[in-house]
Amino acid sequence: MILPDVLPWVMVAFALALALNAWRLFRGPGLPDRILALDTLYINALALIVVLGLWLETKAYFEAAMLIALLGFVGTAVMAKFVMRGDIVE
């Protein structure tokens, strides 16, 4: 089967994407760029965890990925509200 041969390369690609997102997060010219970098950072981390779960053939990583997806979505919504209104709590 080709899957065990490809998964390490996929993990390297997602790790590289994580590094590039972290670079944009720390170097981003503005706040919207940093929020977008943080959003793509958690999405790439989510994909990396799913690929790791496929590689190790365990279901525990998929539950962690669901938790990261939920927290990432809520975090992105809160940051977008902060950028639009300047305050989170109304």
What is the DSSP secondary-structure string of 37-67?
HHHHHHHHHHHHHHHHHHHHT-SHHHHHHHH
Distance, CA of 73 to CA of 85 (rounded, Å): 18
In one-letter notation, the amino acid at residue 3 is L
What residues contact residue 65 under an 8 Å CB cut-off, 6+ apart? 46, 49, 50, 53
Residue 90 has a pLDDT of 67
Q: What is the CATH number of the domain that holds 24?
A: 1.10.287
Identify whether 27 is part of a domain. Answer: yes
Residue 70 has a pLDDT of 93
Identify whether 88 is part of a domain. Answer: no
Q: How many domains does the chain have?
A: 1
Distance, CA of 59 to CA of 23 (rounded, Å): 31
Give me the domain span that covers residue 54: 3-83
Q: Mean pLDDT for each consecutive 10-residue tract of the chain (90 residues)?
A: 85 94 91 90 93 91 92 89 79
- pTM summary value: 0.82
